[in-house]
Structure 1
Amino acid sequence: MFLRNARETTIFQSAVSLLCLLIYTSTRNQSLASTSTSTTSTTSQSSSSSDEKSLPEVDPDKCLVWGSGLKSDIVLPARYFMIQLVDKSGVNITKSVGEQPFEIGIKTINAARIRVWIRTTDRNDGSYVVQYKLYHSVDTMKIEITFNGVDIGQSPYTLKGSVYHEKCYCPNPSIDQWMESMSCDRYVYTQIEHDLKPFPTIDMRVVEKEVVQRFNIRGAHSLCHYVVKDNKVYRKTYGEHVGFKMFMDAVLLSLTRKVHLPDFEFFVNLGDWPLVKHQRPDPQPVFSWCGSDETYDVVMPTYDVTESTLETLGRCDSSNQSMEMPTYDAPEEKLKNSCRVSLDLVSVQGAKAPKWNEKSSLAFWRGRDSRQERLDLVRMSMKYPDIIDARLTNMFFFKKENDLGELVKHISFFDFFKYKYQLNIDGTVAAYRFPYLLGGDSLVLKQDSPYYEYFYNLLKPYEHYIPFKHDLSDLLEVIQWAKDNDDQVQKISENARQFVRDNLMAENVFCYHVVLFKNYAKRLTGPVKVQEDMELVEQPTDSDSKCDCRRRGKAPNEEL
C-alpha cells in the first residue's frame, strides 16, 4: 500500500497501534481470568514501579488531616485545615504532587449546597492548606476530601452543631471557654507579661488626663480612646489623622462577635512611632502596633497582620500582592479602598518560587524611602550589583536625594522569593513585611533594630533569621557568610517557615488580643464608663446571610 504523505502515515500508524492494543487487551483479560494470585501481585508491583518514576504514590488512608477548620466551635474569617500527604510506606511526602490535587466538598449533613469560597495552597513540601470562607451559618456541616476519587484521612469530616460565619454576631458568653476552644494556652505570651508589668493598677481617669494632655498635639500624634462595655465598642478620637482607627474597629468588632469581652477601656496610638518614653516619669499605658527598647507602649499584633487575617478570602483581588500601604495620614477613604491585604500568611507559604538551588544568589529588597538606611542600602546595591539588588519604589521622605537611580515598579511579593536572601530593613519603625518574609522559602537577613512587633521576642537569631548591624557595616560580610554556609541557612529558612505556621496564624492573632485585653482589664481600678461624646462603632449588617445564634446569656460570675 502506498501512503501519499506524513499525515496518512500517522493515521495508518495510529490505526495499527489501536488494533494491537485491542488484541493485547483481549488476550490479557483472558489470561488474567485463569492466572493465579501471584500473577496479579506481579502486575501491581509493575504499576507501582512506574508510578515511582513520576510522582510519589500517595496512600489516601495514611494521609494526615488536621486543623481548626474541622471544629464547629472555632469561628475565623477564613477557616482552614492542613493536609500532609503520606506514601504507602507511611513516610511523609516532601514534594508537591500538584497545585490542586484534591476535590474538596463542603455541604450540609443533608447534602444541601453551602455558599462557600474554598482555596487550596500548595506549600511545595508535600503539605497543603485548605482555607474556606462561609457566607452564612449552617447546622452540622460535612467536609469531604478526596484524592483521585478516594477519601483521604478520616474523610468525610462532620462539624456537629451550629457553624457560624464571620459576620454572625454570636459571642461565646464565657471568655475562658472560648480560649479553651481556641487552644490559646498553646501560645507563649511573655511579651504581654513584659508590657503590662509597669502597670499593676490602672486608673483610667488618670490615664485619660495624662495621655490626652501629653499626646493630643494636632498634626503630631493621633489617638483613639476605646471603651468596650457590655460587648459593644465605643470610641473617641484625638488628632488630625485618625483613619487608622478602622483597623482597630475591625478587630474589636470581630472579637465581640465571637466572644463576650470584659468591660475595659484603653488608648490606642494610631501613628507609627511608640509614644511612652522611658525617661518620662509616671508612664501611662498606651497600646501601639510597634514597640521599642526605649518605650513602655503595650504592643498588639500590627494592623497589617490583623487586617490580612480579617480579610483572608475577602474583599481584595487575589492578584494583588503589593506590600505598599498608604501612610497613616492618608485620607480615610483611601485607606478603606486599599487592597494591599490580599497577601496573607497562608498564601505566602504557597509562593511558586524556584527551588532553593535555582534561586538567584542576590540579596533582594524593594520598598520606599522611609529610613536613611534604606537609602544607604540602595547606594550599596549600585556599588555591588552582583551582590545586592535593592531599589526604591516610592519616595516620600527624601525627595531631594538624586543619586539613588530611577524608581522601579512594584512587583508581586511572591516574586521576592526568586531570590535566596531577603533583606529586612526598618521603615519609619519595624518593617511590617517581616512575618511575610519569614513565611516564604528564602533566608531573611534582618537589620538590628530597637523596634519590635509582638512576636519578635520568640525569634532567635541564627535559628529563624540572620542579623546584621543597624548601620549595614557588616552586611556584605553577612551575605558572604550565608553563601559559604548554604546548608545551614537553608535550614534556618525552613525554621522560619515553621515558626510562622506555629505562631502567626489566625488563631494566634485572635488569642493574643483576647489574652492581652483580659489581663489588661484585671488591672483597671475604677468603673468602665461610656462617655457622652463617644461614638458607638456599629457591627456590620449581614441581612442576606443566615445567623441563627443559639448562644444566650453571660457566663455567671466568670472571673476576669
Structure 2
Amino acid sequence: IRKFPYEDAETATMLQRNSLQTLCRAQHVLLTVYIATFLISHGKPGLCQDDKVQISPERCIIWGPGLDPRVVLPVRYFYIQAVNKVGENITVSPGRDSFQVSVSAVSGQERVRVHVPAPLDRSDGSFLVRFRLYSSVVNGLKVEVFHKHTPVAQSPYTLTGAVYHEDCDCPDEDAEAWLSVLKCPSADPQVEQDFSAFPSIELQRVRQEVPLRFTNRGVIHYAIINNQLHRRTLGKYTDFKMFSDEILLSLTRKVRVPDVEFFINVGDWPLETRKVSDVPGPVPIISWCGSKDTRDIILPTYDVTHSTLETMRGVSNDLLSVQGNTGPVWGNKMERAFFRGRDSREERLNLVSMSKKNPELLDAGITAFFFFREREKDLSKAPLVGFFDFFKYKYQVNVDGTVAAYRFPYLMLGNSVVMKQDSPYYEHFYTHLRPGRHYLRIRRDLSDLIEKIQWAKENDGEVEAVARAGQALVRELLQPHRLYCYYYMVLKSYADRQVGKPALHPDMERVRQPSDHSAACDCRRRTRERPSDEL
C-alpha cells in the first residue's frame, strides 16, 4: 500500500481530495471539448445546439383557414410552425406546452362562447390549434398566440366583421366566392372518374328505376330545393340517414347549393353493378364507398364527416385530434405490425392465426365476434386497445371489413407506416395515394405480409420516408374544409348534368335546420353585397 510522505494525516487527506477535484475538472473540460467538437462537426459552425431547438416567437409561422372570418366550420383550426433563433423550422417536438392560445370577442359589448383546448403537438415542430364556437359575433374575434407570454408571429390576429358558429344558418349566396375563400380545388380525379359514366342524368328515369331496383336496400331520396333539404326513405335499413342529413344540413348552412335531386345509399356496399356499355346503362347512386365492379358516385364516408361535425364535442377520435396523438417518435416505436378489429372479414381471422405463429413480428387480435362466432373459441377475443395506442407500433395493418376499412384515413394521419391490403374497395381520396410512396401494399390473401414486415425492419429509413410522405399527403387531403369542398363539388357536378327539373316527391318531408337557442345568430350575408376577396 502506497503511503503519503506526510506525517499529518489531515494534510494528506486534504491533498488527496484536491487531487481528485483537479482530476474531475480536467475530465469535465475534456468532455466539454468533445461535445463542442461533435456539435460543430454535425451542425453549422458557431451554432449552439440550444439555438436549434429554442423557439423564436417572432420568427414562427402561423396560417390556416380558422383565421379567415369568412370560413365557417364546425371547429376552426390553424397551424403554428415553430422556428428557431436562426430562422430554421424546428423539425422535432419543442415541447407540448410550447404555445398558448386565447380567443375572445373584439368588442367589449359582445360575449362569445368558445372552447379552446391546448394546441396539438404534431411531433414534427408544427402545432394544430382548434377552437369551437358555440355562438356568433358581429364585431369580430381576437386570436392571441403566445410562447412564454411573448406574442408569436403576427399575434394578435383579428377576424374582422361577423364570425359565425357551426349552427348558424347563414349561407353564402355566391358559391364561387365561397369556394375561393375555402381554396377548394377546381377538380378532383375521383369526381371526374365517377361522373364519366353519367354525361347526363335523366331525373325521370332515375326516379322510376332506383325505387324499383333498390327498395330492399337502404336508400334515401333527397331533394335540395331553394337550399332547403327534403327526403324520403326507401328500404328497411335507413337509420344511417342521420349521417347524410347532418352533413347536408351543415353544407346548406354555409353555401347556397344548386337545386338538385339525388339518391344516397346509406348501406355498406356500393349498389350499381351495370357497366356503361350495358343497355339500359347504370343509374347514379351516391355512396360512401366505391368498388372496381360498381358505378356508384362516391362521397366522403359518414365516419369522417360525422367525426368532423362532432370534433371536440361528440367523438374522441377525429381527423384533427389524431394528429396530436401519434405515439412515440419513429425510433422509439415497437418494430412489430399491429391490428385490432372485429371479425368482419375472414382475412382478419387469418391475420390472428399469423400473429400466433409470428408473435415477434405481428400483434393481431379480434375484439368482437359477430360473423364468425364459431371461431372465437379457437382464436380467443382480444382486449380492446385505445386507438391512439396503435401508434406505439411502427407498422399498421389495414384489412378490409365488409367494405373498405374506414379506419384507413386515421391510420394514415399517424406517424406509423400503413400496410394496406390490396382491395377492390376505395374511399373518395384513394386516387391520390400511391403504393410504395404513401403506404405499403400487401396481397389480398395476406400471403406476403410476414415477408413485408421483415423487409420493413431491414429497410427502416425507406419505410419511415413512406410513412412521412403518406402522413403529409393525407393531412392535406383530409382537412375538414376539404370535405365541404368535395361535397359541394359532387352535388354541383350532379346538378350540372340533370335533365329535367328537381322536384319534391309527395312522400318527402322537410329536414329542418337546428332552431333552438344555440343556433341563434344575426346573419348579415343576406343583406350585404358580395364580400371582397381581400382580408
If the length of structure 2 is used for normalisation, what is the TM-score? Answer: 0.87
Q: Which residue of 2 aligns with 1:293?
A: 292
Q: Deviations over 1:65-122 (max 9, x none)?
A: 0000110000000000000010110001112222232221211223565211112211
Q: Is the 8 A contact 2:172 2:256 kept in 1?
A: yes
Q: Which residue of 2 aligns with 1:176?
A: 176
Q: Which residue of 2 aligns with 1:432?
A: 406
Q: Which residue of 2 aligns with 1:271?
A: 267
2:240 maps to 1:244: yes
SS of equivalent to 1:421: strand
Q: Deviations over 1:358-397 (max 9, x none)?
A: 2111110000011111111111111111111110001111
Moved more, 545-554 or 430-439: 545-554
Q: Is the 8 A contact 1:311 1:342 kept in 2?
A: no
Moved more, 154-163 or 97-106: 97-106
Q: Which residue of 2 aligns with 1:540?
A: 514
Q: Which residue of 1 aligns with 2:24?
A: none
Q: 1:462 to 1:234 in 2, by over 3 A?
A: same
Q: Which residue of 1 aligns with 2:95?
A: 98
AA aligned to 2:94 is V
Q: Is the 8 A contact 1:116 1:135 kept in 2?
A: yes
Q: Which residue of 2 aligns with 1:29?
A: none
AA aligned to 1:439 is L
Q: 1:545 to 1:520 in 2, by over 3 A?
A: closer
SS of equivalent to 1:445: strand
Q: 1:142 to 1:216 in 2, by over 3 A?
A: same
Q: Which residue of 1 aligns with 2:113?
A: 115
AA aligned to 2:370 is F
Cα displacement (A) at 1:188? 4.9
Q: Which residue of 2 aligns with 1:312?
A: 311
Cα displacement (A) at 1:53? 5.0
SS of equivalent to 1:162: coil
Cα displacement (A) at 1:403? 5.5
Counterpart mapping for 1:209-220 below 5 A: 209-217=208-216
AA aligned to 1:209 is Q
Q: Which residue of 2 aligns with 1:283?
A: 282
Q: Is the 8 A contact 1:63 1:83 kept in 2?
A: yes
Q: 1:554 to 1:277 in 2, by over 3 A?
A: farther
Q: Which residue of 2 aligns with 1:552?
A: 526
d(CA) in 2 for partners of 1:452, 1:303: 14
d(CA) in 2 for partners of 1:211, 1:168: 34
Cα displacement (A) at 1:529? 0.9
* Pairs aligned (count): 479
d(CA) in 2 for partners of 1:464, 1:50: 35
Q: Deviations over 1:338-373 (max 9, x none)?
A: xxx321111111115122122111110000011111
AA aligned to 1:244 is F
d(CA) in 1 for partners of 2:402, 2:124: 36
Cα displacement (A) at 1:178? 0.8
SS of equivalent to 2:233: strand
Q: Deviations over 1:133-161 (max 9, x none)?
A: 01111121111111111111111111111
Q: Which residue of 2 aligns with 1:201?
A: 200
d(CA) in 2 for partners of 1:533, 1:553: 34
Q: Which residue of 1 aligns with 2:43?
A: none
Q: Which residue of 2 aligns with 1:74?
A: 71
AA aligned to 1:227 is A
AA aligned to 2:392 is K
d(CA) in 1 for partners of 2:294, 2:334: 39
SS of equivalent to 1:163: coil
SS of equivalent to 2:58: coil
Q: Is the 8 A contact 1:106 1:113 kept in 2?
A: no
Q: Which residue of 2 aligns with 1:87?
A: 84
SS of equivalent to 1:549: coil
AA aligned to 2:115 is W
Q: Is the 8 A contact 1:345 1:500 kept in 2?
A: no
Cα displacement (A) at 1:421? 0.3
Of 376, 384, 388, 2:358 maps to 384
Q: Is the 8 A contact 1:375 1:404 kept in 2?
A: no
d(CA) in 2 for partners of 1:101, 1:357: 23
Cα displacement (A) at 1:52? 4.8
Q: Which residue of 2 aligns with 1:15?
A: none
d(CA) in 1 for partners of 2:327, 2:523: 44
Q: Is the 8 A contact 1:167 1:542 kept in 2?
A: no
Cα displacement (A) at 1:545? 5.4
AA aligned to 1:100 is D
Q: Which residue of 1 aligns with 2:157?
A: 157
Q: Deviations over 1:399-432 (max 9, x none)?
A: 1224542212221100000001000000000000
Q: Is the 8 A contact 2:107 2:140 kept in 1?
A: no
2:491 maps to 1:517: yes
The percentage of counterpart residues that share the same residue type is 47
Q: Which residue of 1 aligns with 2:421?
A: 447
d(CA) in 2 for partners of 1:555, 1:161: 14
AA aligned to 1:474 is D
SS of equivalent to 1:552: helix
d(CA) in 2 for partners of 1:113, 1:497: 38
d(CA) in 1 for partners of 2:286, 2:529: 28
d(CA) in 2 for partners of 1:188, 1:378: 41
SS of equivalent to 1:400: helix
Q: Is the 8 A contact 1:235 1:535 kept in 2?
A: yes
Q: Is the 8 A contact 2:102 2:116 kept in 1?
A: no
Cα displacement (A) at 1:285? 0.3
AA aligned to 2:360 is D
Q: Which runs of 4+ in 1 moved over 6 A?
A: 553-556
Q: 1:554 to 1:512 in 2, by over 3 A?
A: farther
SS of equivalent to 1:493: helix
Q: Which residue of 1 aligns with 2:316?
A: 342
Cα displacement (A) at 1:164? 0.5
Counterpart mapping for 1:28-47 below 5 A: none
d(CA) in 1 for partners of 2:245, 2:300: 14
Q: Which residue of 2 aligns with 1:475?
A: 449
d(CA) in 1 for partners of 2:196, 2:529: 28
Q: Give 5+ residue unaligned stretches, structure 2.
A: 1-45, 531-535
Of 224, 228, 239, 2:224 maps to 228
2:189 maps to 1:190: yes
Q: CA RMSD in A?
A: 1.9
Q: Is the 8 A contact 1:174 1:555 kept in 2?
A: no
AA aligned to 1:183 is K
Moved more, 352-361 or 402-411: 402-411
Q: Which residue of 1 aligns with 2:14?
A: none
2:367 maps to 1:369: no
AA aligned to 1:117 is H
Q: Deviations over 1:495-533 (max 9, x none)?
A: 111112211110110000001111110111111111121
d(CA) in 2 for partners of 1:504, 1:400: 39
d(CA) in 2 for partners of 1:225, 1:545: 27
d(CA) in 2 for partners of 1:140, 1:264: 34
SS of equivalent to 2:162: strand
AA aligned to 2:125 is G
Q: Which residue of 1 aligns with 2:40?
A: none
